[in-house]
Amino acid sequence: MNKLSLNNNLIRKIKKIFFPFYKSKEISEIFNILETKQPKEKKVAMFVGGCVRKYISGEEIDDIDIATIFSPKEIKEKFKNTKVEIIDTGTDHGSVTLLLNKSKFEITTLRKDIKTDGRHAEVSFTDDWQIDSERRDFTINAIYLDRKGNIFDPQLGKKDLENKVVKFIGDPGERIKEDYLRIIRFIRFSIQYSHNLLESSTINAIKLNIDGIKNISKERILRELIKIMNLRNFKSILKNKDLKNIFSIIFPEFKNLDRIGKLNLIPSSDLSSLDINIILAALLIDETNNHEYFCHKYKTSNHIKDKINSLANNLKNYKSDKNFFKKHLKSNIYFLGKKTMKDFALFIFLENKKWRYKDLRDLNAIIDKISIPKFPYDGQYLMKKGIIEGKRIGLALKELERCWVKSNYRLSDKEIFAVIDKAKKSNILDI
């Protein structure tokens, strides 16, 4: 662990002790409203899920989930005529979102499952905290925390968190059949918390039910995949044979999973800034159209699709041009931009077994130092030289720019006039 990581951990510990999330002004206001006219000893609301798990683990807390005995209707009534805004986000399933001073809190009524089909659950409301805990996925997600910082842990999730074990609540097979996405969530939490301590009964249950993933929408799978790839220790999936095999079955398009092993060569301080789309491209891109199939199958955003396609196209150019990062580096930077070149360099580092991290770092340093001049010619310049047509001017400028870059950003008058004469004499499409 480097000095920066140690300092960050120390800061998080100090904040946890002196400024715990549950003592914020907004949270206090929300709990005060919820507890109005309620017996002091009665637990009407507690934190649950990721925020509690992260609080115990000393992680940064982003989303705050609150469980309550009140129905959505009662919640709305309680916050009526207050400055808290209420957003319907899943009333049928007992969830509403509270917005106060730009802070969001998802508040959900205690529930029990009536019927599940592997994708969705039909629920009924309850006021029993034990019953609510039993319907959750993992023990580490069934830890409750009250506004005073007291823990209610009916599934012993805190112990599992401390022992670095990820367990389903109750029978793993039954939990999976309730929502097959839990298989992928198991992978995520195992990478993040388990340190490769996996129960054989859980692995067997996953293998028996893995075909159920086909019933899950591709959008939900992709969202979960992105969360996995955003983990700083995503590369640790290679260390566990079972996790790696399960992941490969779910995502057969990742034919190059071993490439992420090279992430071990990158300092941990640099990993947080990595663009996961580059890692995704490294897993997908090969000599086939594998990456295109993946983007189509999972209906990826245009941003992801464009990024991966750009890296694939640059790979083709790189393999056909031995001077891509050498003699032609400056011109490639001009047409592609420094960021694109750095992104592609990282991709090649992951893709090419021979590349060392030192090679990547040195190349990035060279890219940073290269100064690219501004193209000195424009349409008015060409018009003065006798080119009138709009389309002809545009195409002539493009050719002039290509020649200018090729000549190391210097063109003689003779070379300039040669391009102009060609534009004057040729059909538009010839240029």
pLDDT, tens only, 238-271: 999 999 999 999 999 999 999 999 999 988 878 7
Mean pLDDT of the chain: 89
- Domain 13-163, CATH: 3.30.460.10
Sheet holding 144-145, edge to edge: 85-90, 95-100, 103-109, 65-68, 45-48, 144-145, 151-152
> Which range is least confidently modeled, 35-39, 149-153, 387-391?
387-391
pLDDT 10s digits, 20-42: 899 999 999 999 999 998 988 88
Rama region for 386: left / alpha / beta (φ>0; ψ in -120 to 50; rest): left
Distance of alpha carbon 125 from alpha carbon 68, whole angstroms: 10
* pLDDT tier at 7, thresholds 50, 70, 90: low
Taking CA atoms, 373 is separated from 29, 165, 308, 329, 403, in Å, by: 57, 56, 28, 14, 14
pLDDT 10s digits, 323-343: 999 999 999 999 999 999 999
Residue 236 structure tokens = 């640790």
Average pLDDT over every residue of 208-220: 95
Distance of alpha carbon 401 from alpha carbon 374, whole angstroms: 10
pLDDT of res. 10: 61
Average pLDDT over every residue of 304-315: 96
pLDDT of res. 429: 44
pLDDT of res. 311: 97
pLDDT of res. 116: 74
Assess whether pLDDT exceeds 80 at residue 277: yes
H or E element in which residue 90 lies = strand 85-90
Query: Which one is predicted more confidently, 155 or 401?
Result: 155
Average pLDDT over every residue of 389-415: 84
DSSP 42-57: ---EEEETHHHHHHHH
Assess whether pLDDT exceeds 80 at residue 5: no
Which residue shows structure tokens 């990478």?
191
* pLDDT tier at 431, thresholds 50, 70, 90: very low
pLDDT of res. 63: 92
Average pLDDT over every residue of 272-294: 92
pLDDT of res. 195: 72
Domain ranges in the chain are: 13-163, 165-251, 379-430
Assess whether pLDDT exceeds 80 at residue 353: yes
pLDDT of res. 428: 47
Distance of alpha carbon 347 from alpha carbon 341, whole angstroms: 10
Average pLDDT over every residue of 352-380: 92
pLDDT of res. 205: 96
pLDDT 10s digits, 63-107: 999 999 999 999 999 999 999 999 988 777 789 999 999 899 999
Average pLDDT over every residue of 375-381: 85
CATH architecture for residues 165-251: Orthogonal Bundle (1.10)
> Which range is least confidently modeled, 92-96, 133-137, 160-164?
92-96
pLDDT of res. 13: 63
Quote the pTM value.
0.85
DSSP 110-156: -EEEEEE-BS-EEEEE-S-HHHHHHTSSBGGG--EE-TTS-EE-TT-
Average pLDDT over every residue of 136-159: 96
Assess whether pLDDT exceeds 70 at residue 12: no
> Which one, of 260, 265, 308, lies nearest residue 285 by Cα?
308
Average pLDDT over every residue of 402-413: 86
Assess whether pLDDT exceeds 70 at residue 4: no
Average pLDDT over every residue of 138-162: 96
Distance of alpha carbon 412 from alpha carbon 281, whole angstroms: 42
Residue 116 structure tokens = 């599940």
pLDDT of res. 363: 97
In percent, the amount of the chain with pLDDT more than 90 equals 69
